Chain A
Amino acid sequence: MPGKLKAKIVAGRHLPVMDRASDLTDAFVEVKFGNTTFKTDVYPKSLNPQWNSEWFKFEVDDEDLQDEPLQITVLDHDTYSANDAIGKVYIDIDPLLCSEAATVISGWLPIYDTIHGIRGEINVLVKVDLFNDLNRFRQSSCGVKFFCTTSIPRCYRAIMVHGFVEELVVNEDPEYQWIDRIRTPRASNEARQRLIFLMSGELQRKIGLKVLEMGGNAVVGYLQCFDLEGESGLVVRAIGTACTLEKISSTLPATATHPSNSSPSKDMKDSPQAAPSTLGCRSTHSSPVHSASSRLSQGFSVSVPTLLFAGMGSGGSAGKEGGPLKALLRQQTQSALEQREYPFFTLAAFPPGFLLHVGGVVSARSVKLLDRIHNPDEPETRDAWWEEIRQEIKSHAKALGCHAVVGYSESTSICEEVCILSASGTAAILSSRFMQDGPLDTEHRFEEVVSPGCGFCHIPYDELNIPFPAQLTYCYCCRRYKVPDVLFTTIDLPTEANVTGKGCLIQARLCRTKKKAQGEGNATVISNLLPFLEYELHTQLMNKLKLRGMNALFGLRIQISVGETMLLGLASATGVYLTALPSPGGIQIAGKTPSDITYEQHISNMQKKINDTIAKNKELYEINPPEVVEEIIGSPIPEPRQRSRLFRSQSESSDEVSELDLSHGKKDAFVLEIDDTDAVEDIHALLTDSPTPAGFYSCNTEIMPGIQNWTSAIQMFTSVRVFRLNANLTNQGLNKIFSDLCENLLKSLYFKLRSMVPCCLCHLNFTVAIPEDELIQVAVTAVAMSFDKEQLLENGKQSGEKTLIKAITENDEQLQFNLELNAETSAPNPLSSPKGLSEVGSHLSARASSVDYSSFADRCSSWIEQLKLKAHTIRRGSVKTTSSMEKASPLPEGRSRSLRSNRSYSGSSVAVVKMTPLSFIPGAKIIKYLGIINMFFIRETTSLREEGGVSGFLHTFIAEVFAMVRAHVAALGGNAVVSYSMKECVFMENPNKNQAQCLINVSGDAVMFVRESELESTSVQTQSATTHTSNGAEGT
C-alpha cells in the first residue's frame, strides 16, 4: 500500500442552469480514482453549491498513482430520470509524487465538458501521502522529476547528464472502436481523453524507470507526442534527456554566486542558459560544420529518405559512412559513445562547458505504411521504425566527425495510412565533464580548451576528409582553428557565443503537388518527392540567410506535412551573424543566355535589388562585423559570462599547425543561375519577404541575440489559420499562397502586438498541417516580450565598453602571460580571447606537470577509456558521477534595474498566471518547479453556426485550454508556466452537418517565480518560498 490519495470537494461556482423550471441545479460530485468511486451529497437548488465534503481516501499503488488521473465528475441530480453530467475535471497527481514539486493541489478548476466547454468551476483539495517502498522490482518511478524545458532548469544544477531516454506505448483509438457507433460523442470523447491521460501517465512512469536505472533523478527536455494513426491505433511516444540534478540551495552564499540571482547584467538572468555556472572548465572549441555550402545539401546531412514498408524490414539507410576518417581518435570517440544506444540529447541549451563543437544539422526521414497494431503490449513495429531512424541519425553524426547529437527531436506526419517519421538534431562533440566521475573531472579540466565565444564553431571533422564540400577558413575570433562558412544547428544560440548585430526569423516555405495514390504507390511517390523538398527548403534557407547578410542558423526546425494531393514543407530558424564565421558573400545572379539586352538589364536590375536588400538588412540587423582583425569595437559581444578560469588545451592547437590553407578562401558570392522560370520565382519569393515593421524583432529561439533588457511585459499567444485552396493550382501558385499565408499571419501578429513595441517575438513556433484536401492549417505559438530601448543603447555602448576595459584590466592583473599570447594570436575579439588565452597561460605550469597531451587523439582516447570502464557497469546509461564543482566566481556587482512596467493587478480575485514558451520569465527568478503540465482536450460541437462558426468555436476552445492550464498551475501553487507548447491542434469540421471537432495537446512546466525587484528587497531574510509566492502571485 505505497500511497494514500486524499481528495476533498469544497465548493462549486458559476454552474450552468440544469433545471429550466427553477433556473437552478441540484449538483453533486463523483470522485473516481482507478476503480474506486466516492460521491458527495446533493447540494440542492444552487448554482454555487457548498459541498464541503469529507476527505475521500484512495489507497493505491504508486504505480497507479503515476498512471491514473483523479477524475472528478460534476452531475445534476434528477429524481425521475438519469443524472445529467455537467462536466469533468481530470487532475494529474504526478506533481504530488515528487518531494521537490507541489505538495497540495488546491483551487478553482474549470469543469469541462467536451460538448459544452467550460461549465463553471469546482474547488478541490488533493493530497498524497507516500510510503517508502524499498521493493527493488517496483514498477513505479515516483520522484523522478520531469521538465519540458530543454535546458538545465533554473534553480537546479546538473551533476550529470546521462543521456537519451525514449519510450512509446500504443493502444486502440476509442474513436475507431466498434462501440463508437452506438455511444454518444461525449462518451467517445471522454473515453479518448481518459485513455490518453492513462497512456501518458504510463509512458512517464516507464521513462522514469529508465532514468532510475541509469542512476538519474530527472528528465529534461521531455517531449511527448501523440500519433493519431486512425484505424491502426493511437501511439503516445516520448523522448527526453536523463540527468542527475541538484537543487541549488537557496542559502545566501549560493544564491549570491548564482548567475540567475545576482548576475551583473540582466541579460544573464534572462538568458535561457543561465545554468549553474560551474566553473573550472570552459568548453573546448567546437567546430561548426556547416551545412551545405553551396548546392548539395550534404552538410545538412539530409538522409535520402529510405522507403520502408511496414513489415518489409529495413532498406538501406542512406547515411554516408562518413568517408575515411583520418584520425583514429575519432573512431575511438565514436566507439565509446556507442556504448550508449543513442548518444542523443534533447537539450537545446547546455551548462557552460558542455558543448564543445557543433558539426551541423543531421536529419532523417522515412515513409511508412501504417497497419493495425495487433498487440498493444508489444509495440515492436513502431519501436523498430524509430530505431532505424535513430541509427541513421547516429551515422550521419558520425560522418560529421561527431559523437553526439544535441537539440534532438522527433516528429510524425500522418495522412491516411501513410506516415512520415522525422528526426533531426545537431551533430556535436560534448565535453566529458558531465559524464564522468569527480576525480577524473579534475584531471580533465586541464585539457579543456578555451572557447572564447567561438569554440563551438570550430569544425569537429577532419578538414582533409570533409564529408561534403565546404569552405573552411580560420576562425575570425581566435584565428587558430578552422571554421565553416555557414553553420546550421537545431539548438539555441549558446549564450557565450560571439554574435554581431541582431538575429531574425528566417523561414523557407514550400508546397508541392502530388498525385493521389494509395498504399505503397502513395508511399513511393512521397518518398521520391521528399529529397527534392528538403533540397529546395535548404536552398531557400541559404538564400534568405545570405540576403540578410548572416552566416548561421539556430533552432532550425523543418516540418514536412503530407496531404492527399500535396506536400508542405516549412523550415524555421533564427539567423544570426556569428563573429567567428566569415562574412557571407552576396548573392549573384547569372543569366544563362546573356544575348538579349533587355534580359541582361532585367538581371542587373534584379541584382541591384538584391544588393540593396542585403545592404538594408545589414543596417537593420546592425551587422557590421569588424573588418580589420585588430579592430576592437564593432561587435556587441555579450558580456563575458565567466570570470573564472578558462583553459585552453595545447592538444587542440597541435591539431591545426596546419599550413595556411587559403585555397578554399572565402567564396565571394553565392551564384544563382536564372535559367528557367523556377529560378525567377525563387528570386521573387526571396525578395517578397516583407521586413518586420519598425520596433519588432522575431526569432524562434529562446533569446534574441543583441537584445537583453527585457521588461516584465510578456504576452504569450496562439494563432491559428486555415486556408482553403482552389483546385488545380500549380506548384508556383501553391508556393505563393503558402508563403503569403505565413507572411500575412506574421503581419497580423505584428499589428496585434503593436502596443508592446519595442518588442521581440520569441520562440515563434509554426506548425503546418493539411487537415483535408485543399486546406492548409498554420498554427503559431510564441511570446512577445517588450524590451527597453534606452537601456539597450546604453548596454550596447557604454556598459559594453566599460566591461571591456574592466575585462582587460582584470586580465592584466591576474595573468602574467597575457601579453605574449595576445600578441601571438591577435584576436579580433577583445573580450573573450585575451582573457581565455591568458587563462591558459596561468595554468600552463600546472598542466605541464600533470599530463602532456600532445594531441587531440590522446585526449579523447584517454577519456574514452575512462568512459568505457564505467560504461560497462551500466547498460544504457552513462557513468554516474558526482563531480566536484567549483563555485562560480563572483560576478560583477549587479546593477539594479528598475522594471519598467510592474503593474500590480491586486484586487483581482483570480491569480495571474503567466505563460511562456521560453524557459524563463524576464525580470523574475524561478524559485520552484511544481511539476509538468501535460493536458489533452477534445472539444466537439453539433451547433457550429450558433457558436460563431469555425473561428468562434476554435477561439473559445483555445481560450478554454489556456484557462484550464492556468487554473491547474494556480492550484499547484504556481504563478507561471514555462516552456509551454501546443504540440497538437487537430481541427476537423463538417459545416454541412454544422459540426466540428478539435483536439489540443499542451505541455509545459508549472513554476513559481519571484520578481527580481521583490527578491532584492527581501532576499536577506526570506528563505521561505511561501512569502514569495504570495508576492509573486499578486505582482505582474
Chain B
Amino acid sequence: MSVELDVFVGNTTIMDKEVYQLWLNGYTVNDAVKVRIEGGVMEECEASAEVLLSDTMDQYRTFQMCERLLHHPAKLANQLLFQIPPDRQAMLIERYYAFDDSFVREVLGKKLSKGTKKDLDDVSTKTGITLKSCRRQFDNFKRVFKVVEELKGPLVENIRQHFLLPDQLARDYAAIVFFANNRFETGKKKLHYLTFQDFAFCAGQLINNWTLGAVDNIMEDMDVDLDKEFLQELKDLKILITDKDLLDQHKSLVCTALRGKTNVFNEMEANFKNLSRGLVNIAAKLINAKDVRDFFIDLVEKFIEPFSLCLLYMGVIKSCILRMYHD
C-alpha cells in the first residue's frame, strides 16, 4: 500500500521560501522534512509528517522543473509554463545565485574548469556545505563567467542585465569573474585571514580603475581584463624610488594626507622609503601574468606583513599613487 503518484499544481506556482532554501542547500527530501519538523511547522499548521513529506517532494519537483529556467533568468520572466509573480521570480533568482562566503573563498581565483569541479567534494568536506550546493554555486560562477566573458561594456551591468541580479550580488559576481579571469592567487595560507568581501572590494577597485573599461570608458572595452598598457606604464613608477626629489615629494604628500589619521603614522613616516619601494616593485612587475596572480600575496608579504599596516592605509597609498600618476 503506497502512494504511487502525488502532485499538486497551482495556477500560480506555490513556492515555500523555507523549502527552497533547503533545496538550495542541497538537503535530500528526507533531511528537509526533518528540518521542517524541527522548525515546528507541523504544530503551527496541524499537519502530519506525511503531509510534510508530500509537500516537500512536490516543492522539490517544482524547483527541479524551474531550475533550467533559473540558468537563464531572463527566460523566467517570459516563459509560460509557470505563472510566478515578479516578486517571487526575483526571490527565486536571487537565492539561486546566492553563494556561501566560505565556499567562494575556496574557489576564488581558481580556473572554473572541470578539474576544479572534480575537487568540489574536498571543498564540501572542508566547508561543511553539501556537495550538491557546492556544485550549484560552482556552476553558477561558471555560467556567469561564460556569458560575460566575451561581452562588451561594464562588467557589473552586464551581469545584472543577463542574470537579473540585485546590485550587490552582481558586484560580487563581477569580483568572482574578475578573479577567475585573472587567476589571482587567494588560497595561500597568508591570505586566509581575508574574507571574500575584502577581495570583492579590491576587485571592485581594480575593475573600476585598472581595466580597459575604466580608463577609456568606451563601450567596446572590457572590464574583465586588466589594462595592459596601464600595467606597462606602471614600470615608470620606479622613478619614485630612483629620483630623490620625487621620492621626497611623494613622501610629503602622503604624510600630509595621513597625518593624524593613523596611529602608525610615525612608523610609516620613518619607513616610508622601504614601504614605497615595496609597492613600486609590485607595481612594476604587474606586466607579467604570473605576478598579476601573485598580486595579493605580494601585497601581504611585501607590504602589509612587514609593516602591519591596515588596508585603509593601502587604499590611501593607492589613491596617492594614482593621483600622482595622473598628474
User: Taking beta carbons and an 8 Å cutoff, which residues of A are in contact with B?
Assistant: 13-14, 108, 110, 118, 121, 693-694, 715-726, 737, 744, 747-754, 775, 777, 903, 905-910, 912-915, 948, 950-952, 954-956, 958-960, 962-963, 966-967, 987, 1036
Contact = CB atoms under 8 A, between A and B. Distances in A.
Interface stretch (B5-13, B120-128, B175-183, B209-217): B5-13
B82 interface: yes
Interface string B36-74: 000000000111101110110110011011000000000
A724 B83 contact: no
A900 to B, nearest CB: 16
A723 B3 contact: yes
B79 interface: yes
Given A751-B55, A967-B80, A693 B45 contact: yes
Contacts of A14: 75, 79
Given A693-B46, A951-B61, A966-B80, A719 B7 contact: yes
Contacts of A903: 85, 87
B263 interface: no
Contact of A723 (B1, B50, B64): B1
B285 to A, nearest CB: 42
Per CB-CB distance, the 3 closest pairs between chain A and chain B, nearest first, are A722-B5, A717-B10, A716-B11
A997 to B, nearest CB: 13
A807 to B, nearest CB: 39
A933 to B, nearest CB: 14
Nearest to B85: A905
B77 interface: yes
B85 A717 contact: no
Nearest to B74: A909
A777 B5 CA distance: 9
5 contacts: A721-B6, A722-B4, A747-B48, A906-B86, A963-B82
B78 interface: yes
Nearest to B82: A959
B61 A948 contact: yes
A956 B9 CA distance: 9
Question: Which of B8, B64, B75, B87 has the most A CB atoms < 10 Å from its CB?
Answer: B8
A955 B60 CA distance: 12
Contact of B83 (A744, A750, A958, A966): A966
A118 B80 contact: yes
B77 A910 contact: yes
Nearest to A779: B7
Contacts of A912: 83, 85
Contact of B12 (A715, A909, A955, A960): A715
A959 B8 CA distance: 10
Contacts of B51: 744, 747-748, 751
A715 B9 contact: no
B311 interface: no
Given A950-B4, A959-B13, 4 more contacts: A13-B78, A110-B81, A744-B50, A748-B55
Contact of B57 (A725, A749, A951, A959): A951
Interface string B1-32: 11111111111111000000000000000000
B11 A958 contact: no
Nearest to A737: B1
By secondary structure, the B interface counts as mixed
A958 B65 CA distance: 13
B86 A748 contact: no
A958 B80 contact: no
B81 A963 contact: yes
Contacts of B62: 955
Contact of B81 (A13, A693, A960): A960
A724 B6 CA distance: 12
Interface residues of B, number: 41
A951 B6 contact: yes
A910 B86 CA distance: 10
A763 to B, nearest CB: 13
Contacts of A958: 7, 9
Contacts of A720: 5-7
Interface string B244-262: 0000000000000000000
B3 A722 contact: yes
A956 B7 CA distance: 10
A958 B4 CA distance: 17
A375 B265 CA distance: 104
Nearest to A694: B46
A13 B80 CA distance: 11
A747 B47 contact: yes
A779 to B, nearest CB: 10
Contacts of B85: 903, 905, 908, 912, 1036
A752 B7 CA distance: 12
A956 B65 contact: yes
A951 B5 contact: yes
Given A751-B55, A955-B9, A959-B9, A909 B78 contact: yes
A775 B81 CA distance: 29
A118 to B, nearest CB: 6
A720 B79 CA distance: 24
A715 B61 contact: no
Interface in B76-119: 77-83, 85-87, 89
Given A693-B46, A751-B55, A913 B4 contact: no
Nearest to B75: A14
Contacts of A915: 11
A705 B50 CA distance: 32
Contact of A909 (B1, B50, B77): B77
Contacts of A913: 83
Contacts of B89: 908
B149 to A, nearest CB: 18
With a 10 A CB-CB cut-off, give which of B6, B58, B78 has the most chain A CB atoms. Answer: B6
Given A716-B11, A717-B9, A775 B79 contact: no
Contact of B7 (A118, A914, A954): A954
Contacts of A121: 80
A718 B55 contact: no
Interface in B188-246: none
B86 A905 contact: yes
A750 B11 contact: no
Contacts of A960: 81
Scoring A118, A718, A723, A908 by chain B CB atoms within 10 A of each residue's CB, the highest score goes to A908
Nearest to B47: A751
Contacts of A963: 80-83
A962 B65 CA distance: 15
Given A725-B1, A744-B50, A751-B51, A910 B80 contact: yes
Contacts of A750: 45-47
Contact of B14 (A715, A775, A910): A715
A951 B7 contact: yes
Nearest to B77: A909
A715 B84 CA distance: 12
A775 B80 contact: no
B1 A914 contact: no
Contacts of B2: 723-724
